[in-house]
Amino acid sequence: EPKLKELYDTQPEIKELINIAQRLEGIARHASTHAAGVVISPDPLTDFLPLYKAPNDEAITTQFDMDAIKEIKLLKFDFLGLKTLTLIDKAEKIINAARKLEDGKDHIPFSIEDVPIDDEIAFILLSTGKTSGVFQLESPGMKDLLTRMEPEVFEDLIALVALYRPGPLGSGMVDEYIEGKKTKKSPGQKKPTGSLAKLKLPELDEILKETNGIILYQEQVMEVAHKLAGFSLGQADILRKAMGGKDKDVMEKLKNTFIKGSKVNKISEKKAETLFNLILQFAQYGFNKSHSAAYALIAYRTAYLKAHYPVEFMAASLSSDMDNTDKVFNFINECRDMGIKMLPPDINESTREFKVTGNSIRFGLEAVKGVGSSAIDAIISARDNNKFESFFDLCSRVDSRRMNKKVIESLIKAGAMDSFGKRAQLWAAAPAIMDAAMRYQKEKSSGQESMFSDIHEPAPQQMPDVEEWKDSQRLMMEKEALGFYISGHPLNEYKNRFIELSVTSIADLQDVYDKKDVIIGGIIRDCKRIQTKKGDSMGYINVEDMHGNIEVVLFPEIFQEAQDLLSLETPIIISGQTDKNDKGLKVIARKIASIDNNEQIEELKNFKPKTRQRSNYNGSNYNNHKNNGYTKQAETNDNDMTQQYKSLVLTLYNNTELETLPKIEEVFSRHTGSCPVYLKIINPDNWETIFSTNRQVLPSQDIISEIEEILGERSAVLN
């Protein structure tokens, strides 16, 4: 760069900076450790490479990276620890314990290793997308793919894991696979017209039969090269590595070998070259089948457990994620959808983890915030088949050094001591009862009890006459202790308003099409504020109702309007539009109102979206939320749309052709107005970034149609 050279030659500071930068270039910036990599050598490692021990870390690591280790011919293994394996182990133990409890007999232990790989009930669960909690298969995008693909055999699951990655999803491979699967099931259907099928090579068709005519696995690349082009298995592996690493020199050399070998098998040079290029195209998305099979097996086993032992499986899932409030919240909602009753924590019934009781699950004490392992051990040890009879009995039998005031208060808040009295009374009586119990423990430990044999426990403490907590306070305390509500919900009192406003349950939003107008209601669990490149503030809020939670996007104008409503735990109503993609579901807000503010509610009601839902909140049964319906209203005109819409959002992908941008500019120039335009950029890993622009347009159906003609369907949304 001439300008840079000029600066280097004329400015000493720039020269010094560049000289230093050149010396630093290529030097390791910091030491990092592979999460699962283990190096194996025939003799002590120090005979082969230098080692390193980071300060305050017990782990010893190599100073060579994985490429250097490979060069000196040492072996590196990746040992990946999965929490799901612990979950399966917990489920097995719960199932076997429940079997013995039923009749007291010893049964042949249930083992996940013995379950059939072709269980019909498990595959029904999988093909209907009921996979919350199932390993690798619980994301919205994966659930959608499951329902489209309808897996019937284990090989389908192996393919599913390999297909659900950005490359195959964006290349059309998924659609080609599903089309091939349907053709295989119904031979009368039109044959697949994929690029590989057009070659009409029987040997190729046989290799690709299991993946419905596409190259999905790296092993298939090797098999094609071996059987059709005469490669040795070693050569085939070199080809696989070269394609994966995009080594052009090696690939060009192997291409000639491939074409020559194919000729020996009576495949024309033209077909062989076409086949090689197609293999190259598919190979960049190729996945290791053995890796996929291992993950598919764990996915299948968790699906089997959920299908056949739903209560035990959900209890194990809850116990495995007790430290993750969001996951516990989602699992509890899943339990309710499955008809599994959640029982609150109980000082006499709860164990450390979540526990199966018939067709119900009892909260574990470890899920109560502020109750640590030491306190739980002390409580369970003191209880030891002899239930606590009163608040004082609890405090006198459990070591007060391990069950302190904070632990007691957390247990009261969570409802774990409801069998001893009302929560407000327990809260008020706690200091006096704890003092009395502590004195009793001291007297007992000092031997005074044996000196005065007629002195035992003090007389039962009289509970103070205090007013019980109101529902709102009780629920607030529960949420502090558990992270969510268990005995009720703050929205219970608003069910009539939800019916009046045709509110859609958050759980039912998964069944609503993309870009549909909805009204949701809930309380704010979280609020994040960010700045656009233009400097405007916008926000993301997490809204929770009785059946789930969802992220709501607030673009700058609506974010500014709603400032006074964005405090945590505030009950609100939102009019907006669904926004679905492989990462999940969001709602783009258009209007927000406080549930308690009649004036704001009227404004929201008058702010009519193009389509409205009938209420799915039944007046007689608030929890009956699976009956969505839609009624079409008259289309709005452009003047109405100007009043109604606050922004236009264009979705672009990293691979969007640059030539399309001037065409978009032309569309903007034909539809100038006052509605600001935002760009949502989605990168190959499905991360989203939102940018503001300095463009303003007139919102209309025409501008949507013109943009979609350039960028594709659903690429433009008015909010």
How is 104-154 classified by DSSP, letter by letter? S---PPP-GGGS-TT-HHHHHHHHTT--TTSTT--SHHHHHHHHHH---SH
Domain at 490-634, CATH class? mainly beta
Query: pLDDT averaged over the chain?
Result: 84
Query: In the structure, what pLDDT confidence band is assigned to residue 618 with cuts at 50, 70 and 90?
Result: very low
Candidates 403, 217, 203, 346; CA nearest to 293 is 217
The residue with tokens 């060009």 is 252
For residue 683, is pLDDT > 80? no
Candidates 131, 132, 235, 214; CA nearest to 167 is 214
- pLDDT for 349 equals 95
Q: Which long-range contacts (CB under 8 A, 24 or more apart) does 700-708 make?
A: 700/638, 700/641, 700/671, 701/635, 701/641, 702/671, 703/648, 703/667, 703/671, 706/667, 706/670, 706/671, 707/650, 707/664, 707/667
Which range, 96-105, 387-396, 640-649, 650-659, has the best average confidence (pLDDT)?
387-396
Condensed to tens digits (0 to 9), the pLDDT of residues 392-422 reads: 999 999 988 899 999 999 999 999 999 999 9
Structural contact between residues 394 and 415, judged by C-beta atoms closer than 8 angstroms: no
Condensed to tens digits (0 to 9), the pLDDT of residues 203-245 reads: 888 888 888 888 889 899 899 999 999 999 999 988 888 876 7
Distance CA 421, CA 389 (A): 11
Specify the pairing of strand 549-554 against strand 584-594.
Answer: parallel
- pLDDT for 656 equals 64
For residue 446, is pLDDT > 90? no
Query: In the structure, what pLDDT confidence band is assigned to residue 455 with cuts at 50, 70 and 90?
Result: very low
- pLDDT for 693 equals 81
Query: In the structure, what pLDDT confidence band is assigned to residue 199 with cuts at 50, 70 and 90?
Result: confident
More confident of the two residues 379 and 70: 379
- pLDDT for 644 equals 66
Write down the domain spans for the chain: 2-78, 112-291, 342-482, 490-634, 643-718
CATH topology of domain 643-718: Trna Endonuclease; Chain: A, domain 1 (3.40.1350)
Query: In the structure, what pLDDT confidence band is assigned to residue 632 with cuts at 50, 70 and 90?
Result: very low
Contacts of 148 (CB under 8 A, 6+ apart): 178
The residue with tokens 């490669």 is 231
For residue 511, is pLDDT > 80? no
C-alpha angle 541/547/552, rounded to 5°? 20
Condensed to tens digits (0 to 9), the pLDDT of residues 282-292 reads: 777 778 899 89
- pLDDT for 231 equals 92
Distance CA 268, CA 285 (A): 26
The residues with which 589 forms a beta bridge, in sequence order, are 576
Average pLDDT over residues 693-710: 83
In the three-class reduction of DSSP (H, G, I as helix; E, B as strand; rest coil), residue 391 is classed as: helix
Query: In the structure, what pLDDT confidence band is assigned to residue 654 with cuts at 50, 70 and 90?
Result: low
For residue 28, is pLDDT > 80? no
More confident of the two residues 34 and 392: 392
Specify the pairing of strand 517-531 against strand 355-357.
Answer: unpaired
- pLDDT for 662 equals 81
In the three-class reduction of DSSP (H, G, I as helix; E, B as strand; rest coil), residue 201 is classed as: coil
Tell me the two tokens of residue 161: 């894991």
More confident of the two residues 635 and 580: 580
Condensed to tens digits (0 to 9), the pLDDT of residues 43-63 reads: 999 999 999 887 777 788 998
Contacts of 307 (CB under 8 A, 6+ apart): 119, 121, 122, 124, 125
Average pLDDT over residues 560-572: 91
More confident of the two residues 421 and 180: 421
Structural contact between residues 704 and 671, judged by C-beta atoms closer than 8 angstroms: no
Tell me the two tokens of residue 221: 């690349």
For residue 631, is pLDDT > 50? no
Measured in whole angstroms, how far is the alpha carbon of residue 259 from the centre of its chain?
Answer: 46
In the three-class reduction of DSSP (H, G, I as helix; E, B as strand; rest coil), residue 27 is classed as: coil
More confident of the two residues 630 and 523: 523
More confident of the two residues 382 and 631: 382
Structural contact between residues 70 and 109, judged by C-beta atoms closer than 8 angstroms: no
Percent composition of the chain: helix, strand, coil (DSSP 3-state, to 5): 50, 15, 35
Structural contact between residues 549 and 568, judged by C-beta atoms closer than 8 angstroms: no
Query: In the structure, what pLDDT confidence band is assigned to residue 181 with cuts at 50, 70 and 90?
Result: confident
Tell me the two tokens of residue 379: 């409580």
* Single-letter amino acid code for the residue at 618: N
Average pLDDT over residues 128-148: 91
How is 533-576 classified by DSSP, letter by letter? TTS-EEEEEEEE-SS-EEEEEE-HHHHHHTGGG-STT-EEEEEE
Condensed to tens digits (0 to 9), the pLDDT of residues 251-308 reads: 888 888 999 999 998 888 888 988 888 888 777 777 889 989 999 999 999 999 999 9
Which range, 467-481, 500-514, 599-613, 642-656, has the best average confidence (pLDDT)?
467-481
Q: What is the pTM of this model?
A: 0.73
- pLDDT for 713 equals 67
For residue 166, is pLDDT > 80? no
- pLDDT for 630 equals 27
For residue 622, is pLDDT > 50? no
Structural contact between residues 20 and 27, judged by C-beta atoms closer than 8 angstroms: no
| The CATH number of the domain covering residues in 2-78 | 3.30.1900
Contacts of 585 (CB under 8 A, 6+ apart): 140, 509, 510, 550, 578, 579
Query: In the structure, what pLDDT confidence band is assigned to residue 615 with cuts at 50, 70 and 90?
Result: very low
Query: In the structure, what pLDDT confidence band is assigned to residue 612 with cuts at 50, 70 and 90?
Result: very low
- pLDDT for 184 equals 72
